[in-house]
A = this chain, B = another copy of it.
Amino acid sequence: MTSRRRRGERRVTIEDVARAAGVSSATVSFVVNDKPGVRLTDGTKERVWRAVEELGYRPNAMAQTLSRGRSSFIGLVADAIATTPFAGQIIRGAQDEAWRHGYVLLVANTEGVGDVEANALAMMHEHRVTGVLYSTWYHRKVEPPAGLGELSHVLVDCYADDPDVPAVVPDEVQGGRLATTVLLDRGHRRIAFITSTEPAPATFGRLAGYEGALTDRGLTLDPDLVVAVHPEQEGGYTAAATLLDRPDPPTAVFCYNDRVAMGLYDALRERGLSVPGDVAVVGFDNQEVIAGHLRPPLSTVALPHYELGVEGVRMLLALRAGELEPPMRRLITCPPVMRSSV
C-alpha cells in the first residue's frame, strides 16, 4: 500500500448516500442495516437504496479495507458483555461503523473490574488503537479510568462530569415524553409512572419527560401516581398494590423498564384486570426476550444501543481528524416500538 494509492481513492461514504437521497446519514444507516423498530416510509427506503446502488456504496467496507492493507484498530472497552444483550448491540453498531471506515474493532470486556480495565486499556495502547470507545451497559456518569486519558476516547452510554469529554447517550427525557404521549394520545388522563429508586440519568430524565408530556396537555403531575421501586419485576409487582388499591386508580401505567412491566402484568392478572382493556401499559428498553413475549406483547420505547455504537465511532473519527464539533455530549433519540399493550 502506498500513500499515493490511498490518496487516489475516493471512497463512497454514508454521507454521500445521505446527500444523494436527501436524508440524514442516520436514516441511511437505519435503512442499510434494516433496523427493527425504526419506522421509515417505503419512499424513503427506496430513495436510499437507489442512492446506494448509483453510488456503489458498500455498507460493509471491510473488503475495501483489506485491499488497502492492514487495517487500524478502534478499541471498545465494555463493562458487561455477558450480562445483557445491550452491550452486544453497542458492539454491533460500533463494528458496522468501524468497518465502513476501514477500521477493525478490538473489544475488551472488563465486567467493571478495575485492574482488568487497566489491562484492557494497556492492551489497546500496545496495539496502537486509533482511539477507544468506553462504554457502560446502562446510562450513567463515570469517572473515566486513568489509562483512558492517554488515548483519544469517546464515552458511549455514559458521560463524565466535564461536559467537554466527548460522550453519546440516550435521550431519556425524549423517551419519557414519548412513552407518556403514547398513552395521552389514547385518551388516558390518569397515567401512573412506576419509576426507579436508583439515582440514575434514566430516572431523572424519564420523570422529566413524563411531567413534560403531561404539562403539554394542560395536566398536572399527581405525586400519588408516581411510585419508585427497585427496577425489576418484583418492583413492578409490588407497585401495583400502591397504585391500584385506591379509590381513583390510574387507567394507564408508564413503567421504568420492561422488567417492571412484566411484574406489573403478573399483579394485574392476579387482580383479574386485563391489558390494555382495564389498564394500558408502556415499558422502556425494548428488551426483546420480555417485551416481545408478554401477554399481550408490550408496547415500549427502545434504547438506541446500536445507534450509540455507530455515533461513538463517528465522533471518535471526527475527533481524530480534528473535526469534532459541539455538542460534545450528544443525545440519541429513543424510538417507539408499538405492540399490543396500549
Hey, which bits of chain A sit against chain B, CB under 8 A?
Answer: 60, 62-63, 65-66, 70-71, 80-85, 87-89, 91-92, 95, 99, 104-109, 111, 115-116, 119-120, 122-123, 126-127, 232-234, 237, 259, 262-263, 266, 269-270, 287-290, 293-295, 305-306
Contact = CB atoms under 8 A, between A and B. Distances in A.
Nearest to A258: B289
Contacts of A91: 81-82, 107, 109
Nearest to A232: B293
Contacts of A115: 60
> How many copies altogether?
2
Given A84-B289, A85-B85, A107-B91, A62 B122 contact: yes
A84 B82 contact: no
Contacts of A289: 84, 259, 287, 289-290
Nearest to A122: B66
Determine which residue in A63, A85, A116, A126 has the highest number of CB atoms from chain B within 10 A of its CB, and name it.
A85
12 contacts: A60-B119, A80-B88, A84-B88, A92-B111, A95-B109, A104-B106, A104-B123, A107-B107, A233-B294, A266-B295, A269-B269, A290-B290
A287 B35 CA distance: 25
A339 to B, nearest CB: 13
A111 B289 CA distance: 17
Contacts of A295: 233, 237, 263, 266
